[in-house]
Amino acid sequence: MESAIGDRGREPSESRTTAGTRLDADDLTVAYVGGGSRQWVPNLVQDLALSPFDGTVRLYDVDVESAERNAEFGNWVGERAAATAEWEYAATDDLDEALTGADVVLLSTQYDPTETFVHDLDLPKKYGIYGAVAATIGPGGILRAMRTVPTYREFAAAIRERCPDAWVFNFTNPVHFVTRALYDEYPDINAVGMCHEVLHGCDRLAELAGEHLGMDADRSDISVNVKGINHFTWVDEAYCDGVDLWPLLDELARGEEGARRFASEDLEDESPFADPWQVSWELYRRFGLLPFSGDRHIVEYATWFLQGGAEGLNRWGVKRTGSDFRAKHWTPAESEQTTDVEAWLSGDREFELEASGEVLLDVLDALAGGDDVVTNLNLPNRGQVDGIERDTVVEANALVRAGEIRPLSAGGFPRPVRSLVQGHVDTIETVVEASRTGDVDHAFRGFLLDPQVRTLQTEAARDLFAELVAAEEAYLDGWDLEASETLAEADAY
């Protein structure tokens, strides 16, 4: 089936991903790196159980006990009456064993947020930087990239040796840094960065079409021309079942829907994931294109909305994701995750087999020769986004069919938006360049480019950087900390 994003006549870009093989639906080998995942693996297990595929999943994790728990769950789900596919799950703590001969590699890892993420949020706040998420850009996002990218270079090198033609799907944030590093290490890798933010945007457009145009619509009826970088994508075309939505979007942006104001007390009981789209409407009014990621992510790229602390952020209906939330989310008993493998296995919680709604299985089906799919994917820029540096990882629509993923031309940006996007590309490319040799001082240059950091004097930026490095030093393998002049001169390190 076609995914939520139609191609609307867009032409293929000049280059394409072609080295991957056509998948065999009857005998698929999947290597899951991060196989102890508490959310992604249980969702994947259910999707695979309802899929047209049969095969084997190898769950690799340094926390092999978590991977073994998920393997038990996977095999248990396969015995449910509603399961239509046959899958065998096994856990391993040997990366080479997991990757050897794999057809598909899934990447989804995270370090303990109580030792990492909390510092990404709290230390910048000490310096007056009131980030909303700290997940993919800004000082916290850059440190997350620094602790993640060296490991993913190792993954890319292992894939080159053990399964060079495999299709590789990266779900790990920061998606643009990480996917770029995979290609930087192994240029012939068939890697794709995956993110559901655009799909959530399509859900929202379907709701608006229903509310204002009386259309009975869902995500599959929506098509958009999307372009940008992960969590900072934009659309300049939007349709619902062939109906142009742009006049409606313009009306909403300039009417009451786009002019809502919030106070901090209005958000006290709200989830940080709530999204009234007020930042999106404001940027549409200013630039003429509609941002197409959650506002909580957009504000970290378009940093005007971070000024003024909690009050300035909350005015737009955005609630900061605090370090307490991140720490709590890591504890299964206290988190708000929808998956609970142990409770399902023990019978303490009723289990109902259902699809996650993610687009991955549609993509795999298309690669195996099923219906073509057009959806948003993160790939090296080979012409699909005009005016943005070649080879940097951009997010745009791509056509997926048997053995091939072909980016579709999305066009370019008006100069002001191009400037915003390219500025973040420069940060990403600088940090990835630095990771080749572990050059901390070069990574700091990328840190200085970030617009959140540019609110500080250079000495304060240096000290913030040093504090973050000191707090997360145990997770910064691959960086030559001792050789760094930046760290040596910082009072905080």
215-243 pLDDT per residue, tens: 999 999 999 999 999 999 999 999 999 99
Task: Give the DSSP letter string of 278-293.
Answer: HHHHHHHHHHSSEE-S
Choose among 105, 113, 102: nearest CA to 155. Answer: 105
Residue 244 lies in a domain: no
Torsion of CA 78, 81, 85, 86, to 10 degrees: 40
**Cis amide linkage into residue 174, ω under 30° from 0:** yes
| DSSP bridge partners of 243 | 240
Distances (CA, A) of 195 to 156, 200, 279, 307: 20, 10, 20, 27
**C-alpha–C-alpha distance, residues 389 and 406, integer Å:** 18
Residue 148 lies in a domain: yes
Task: Answer with the one of 194, 213, 232 that is the final residue of a domain.
Answer: 194
Residue 402 lies in a domain: no
Say whether 176 is catalytic: no
Residues of the chain below pLDDT 50: 1-4, 7-9, 16, 18-19
The count of other CB atoms within 10 Å of the CB of residue 95 is: 19
Using left for φ > 0, alpha for ψ between -120 and 50, and beta otherwise, residue 327 falls in alpha
Task: Give the model's pLDDT for residue 79.
Answer: 95
Residue 226 lies in a domain: no
Residue 370 makes CB contacts below 8 A (sequence gap 6+) with 25, 52
111-168 pLDDT per residue, tens: 888 889 899 999 999 999 998 998 899 999 999 999 999 999 999 999 999 999 999 9
CA atoms within 13 A on the CB side of 272: 18
CB 435 within 8 A of CB 478: yes
**C-alpha–C-alpha distance, residues 31 and 39, integer Å:** 17
- pTM equals 0.94
**C-alpha–C-alpha distance, residues 95 and 186, integer Å:** 17
Task: Give the model's pLDDT for residue 236.
Answer: 98
**C-alpha–C-alpha distance, residues 196 and 363, integer Å:** 13
Expressed as residue numbers, the domain containing 451 is 430-488
Decide: helix, strand or coil at residue 210: helix
Task: Give the DSSP letter string of 383-450.
Answer: SSBTTS-TTSEEEEEEEEETTEEEEB--B---HHHHHHHHHHHHHHHHHHHHHTTT-HHHHHHHHHHS
Task: Answer with the one of 147, 165, 194 that is the final residue of a domain.
Answer: 194
**C-alpha–C-alpha distance, residues 319 and 296, integer Å:** 7
Q: Looking at 196, 200, 212, 329, which residue is catalytic?
A: 196
Decide: helix, strand or coil at residue 224: strand
Residue 458 lies in a domain: yes
Which position has the token pair 């909403």?
252
**Per-residue 3-state assignment (H helix, E strand, C coil) for 327-384:** HHHHCCCCCCCCCCHHHHHHCCCCCCCCCCCCCHHHHHHHHCCCCCEEEEEEEECCCC
Burial of 359 (0-12, 13-18, 19+ CB in 10 A): buried
Residue 78 lies in a domain: yes
Residue 82 lies in a domain: yes
Task: Answer with the one of 194, 220, 250 that is the final residue of a domain.
Answer: 194
Helices 40-49/360-367 angle, 10° precision: 50
Burial of 448 (0-12, 13-18, 19+ CB in 10 A): middle
| DSSP bridge partners of 235 | 226, 290
Nearest 5 degrees, angle CA 403-CA 405-CA 407? 160
The CATH number for 166's domain is 3.90.1820.10
Query: Whats the size of the chain, residue-wise?
Result: 493
**C-alpha–C-alpha distance, residues 272 and 281, integer Å:** 19
Residue 468 lies in a domain: yes
Pairing of strands 167-170, 104-107: parallel
Pairing of strands 190-193, 167-170: parallel
**C-alpha–C-alpha distance, residues 53 and 98, integer Å:** 19
Six token digits for residue 436: 């080749």
Total count of domains within the chain: 2
CB 237 within 8 A of CB 249: no
Radius of gyration from C-alpha coordinates of the chain: 22
